[in-house]
Amino acid sequence: MPFVYALTLTEETPQPSYTLLQQLVSVGTLVGTGQVLALLSDGTTEFHLHAPLQGLVVEWFAQSGEPIDPEAALARIVAEAPEQFVPSATPVKAY
């Protein structure tokens, strides 16, 4: 049975301010666990945002150039799996 999950950022202390530089996958794309979904920036460093679970990207809530609200979802993904806990995504420094 498919379930929908909202892609959110992991809470950090202090919480960095990120801007969405680029969506690397479009709506309708099937993504794999660990696949890079987006490129973020904190103003000095770029970060990759990875998919925490395989699924179909059905909606983006943020557009390129927009600041990321750390308490809001970035995207909605539908997973073909039994409903389960999906961890928040932690931005990883891009090299």
pLDDT tens-digit series, residues 60-89: 999 999 999 988 999 999 998 888 888 888
- CA nearest neighbour of 49 among 23, 28, 85, 27: 23
Is position 92 within any domain?
A: no
B/e letters for 22-53, b = 16+ CB within 10 Å, e = fewer, are: ebebeeeeebeeeeebbbbbeeeeebbbbbbb
pLDDT tens-digit series, residues 24-67: 999 999 999 999 999 999 999 999 999 999 999 999 999 999 99
User: 């909606």: which residue's tokens?
Assistant: 59
Is position 65 within any domain?
A: yes
Is position 62 within any domain?
A: yes
Task: Indicate the pLDDT class of residue 15, thresholds 50, 70 and 90.
Answer: confident
CATH number at residue 45: 2.40.50.100
Is position 94 within any domain?
A: no
User: Would the pLDDT of 1 be above 80?
Assistant: no
Containing structural domain, residue 51 = 3-87
User: Would the pLDDT of 95 be above 80?
Assistant: no
Is pTM beyond 0.85 here?
Answer: yes
Is position 44 within any domain?
A: yes
Number of domains making up the chain: 1
